[in-house]
């Protein structure tokens, strides 16, 4: 399910329709008649990596207020997933914090993908402080190697001791994505690496989101995966395949694979 604020414009209604077509419960969406839907333009390099340019001046999502939250919808969730961009400005920052508190108080698992986008923040330091300001409340955190270097001010993202410094007593799972190489995982009891699927990258847009969707879909079915390393590794193999298949196609949402396609890709990779 989705809780958000978009503009009462063609882009906002287009997003709502795309979500509906993809069977996403969007009853938490709100439409603001006084602001436009945010836009992000993605430029692709020859290797499929991307650069972003954003238009939000201010956009509707920045204006979401606490009073507009559907807290009952949030409290009914199994997992509440969020990023850090909503922490940049008020009133959205206060709405974000209120939403996570409502979810936490209701026993909902909190999942955090900082999704660093430096051009949107006033400064690098404000981004670091903002991202870390809610770090300790999350149960599950997914970060990239670049984000580890950024948050630790240049420390080695491949050093387990460095990554462990980003863990806190409330964390159930910390995930580090490594692109085509797969991912690393860290819990209180164990840590390790799960290899990724090798594919020819066309467009990496959405790969991280696909990975997160993959692991959260597995955890939503059975949270006990967090206590069993073998089963967690299988779930992360699924998540890695979700990310890998996404980079084979252009676009973000259109490139997201079906569950059947993911299992088929895993089967063929094993074969």
Q: Give the pLDDT confidence of 193-214 residue by residue, as tens digits.
A: 999 988 888 888 889 999 999 9
Predicted TM-score (pTM) of the model is: 0.89
Checking if the pLDDT of 271 tops 60, the result is no
Nearest-CA neighbor of 196 among 188, 208, 186? 208
Partners of residue 97 on adjacent β-strands: none
Q: Give the pLDDT confidence of 51-84 residue by residue, as tens digits.
A: 788 888 889 999 999 999 999 999 999 999 999 9
Q: Is the dihedral of CA 105, 164, 146, 158 positive or negative?
A: negative
* pLDDT attached to residue 22: 85
| Residue 63, CB-side half-sphere exposure with 13 Å CA sphere | 17
Q: Give the pLDDT confidence of 200-250 residue by residue, as tens digits.
A: 888 888 899 999 999 999 999 999 999 999 999 999 999 999 999 999 988
* pLDDT attached to residue 165: 92
Checking if the pLDDT of 46 tops 80, the result is no
Q: Count CB neighbours of 181 within 10 A.
A: 14
118 or 4, higher pLDDT: 118
Q: Give the pLDDT confidence of 129-181 residue by residue, as tens digits.
A: 999 999 999 999 999 999 999 999 999 999 999 999 999 888 999 999 998 89
Q: What angle do CA 36, 40, 45 make, to 5 degrees?
A: 165
252 or 175, higher pLDDT: 175
Which pair of tokens denotes residue 115? 């999704």
* pLDDT attached to residue 1: 57
State the average pLDDT for the chain. 92
Q: Please, is 74 exposed, middle or buried when counting C-beta atoms within 10 Å of its C-beta (0-12, 13-18, 19+)? A: buried
**Strands (DSSP E) along the chain, which ranges?**
3-7, 28-32, 39-44, 50-55, 79-82, 109-112, 140-144, 173-177, 182-186, 191-195
**Cα Rg of the chain, angstroms:** 18
Checking if the pLDDT of 39 tops 70, the result is yes
Q: What angle do CA 178, 22, 195 make, to 5 degrees?
A: 20
């Amino acid at each position: 399910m989705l809780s958000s604020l978009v503009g009462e414009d063609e882009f906002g209604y287009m997003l709502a329709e795309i979500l509906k077509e993809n069977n996403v419960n969007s009853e938490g969406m709100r439409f603001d008649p006084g602001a436009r839907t945010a836009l992000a333009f993605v430029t692709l390099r020859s290797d499929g990596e991307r650069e972003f340019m954003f238009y939000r001046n201010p956009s509707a999502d920045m204006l979401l207020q606490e009073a507009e939250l559907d807290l009952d919808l949030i409290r009914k969730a199994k997992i509440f997933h969020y990023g850090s961009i909503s922490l940049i400005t008020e009133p959205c920052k206060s709405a974000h914090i209120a939403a996570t508190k409502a979810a936490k108080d209701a026993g909902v698992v909190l999942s955090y993908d900082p999704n660093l986008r430096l051009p949107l923040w006033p400064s690098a330091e404000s981004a670091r402080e903002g991202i870390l300001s809610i770090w300790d409340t999350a149960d599950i955190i997914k970060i990239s190697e670049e984000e580890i270097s950024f948050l630790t001010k240049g420390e080695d993202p491949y050093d387990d001791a460095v990554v462990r410094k980003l863990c806190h007593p409330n964390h159930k799972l910390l995930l580090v994505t490594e692109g085509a190489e797969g991912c690393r995982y860290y819990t209180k009891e164990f840590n390790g690496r799960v290899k990724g699927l090798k594919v020819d990258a066309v467009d990496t847009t959405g790969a991280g989101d696909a990975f997160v969707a993959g692991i959260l879909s597995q955890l939503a079915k059975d949270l006990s995966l967090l206590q069993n390393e073998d089963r967690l590794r299988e779930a992360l193999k699924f998540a890695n395949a979700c990310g890998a298949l996404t980079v084979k196609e252009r676009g973000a949402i259109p490139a997201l694979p079906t569950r059947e396609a993911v299992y088929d890709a895993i089967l063929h990779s094993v074969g």
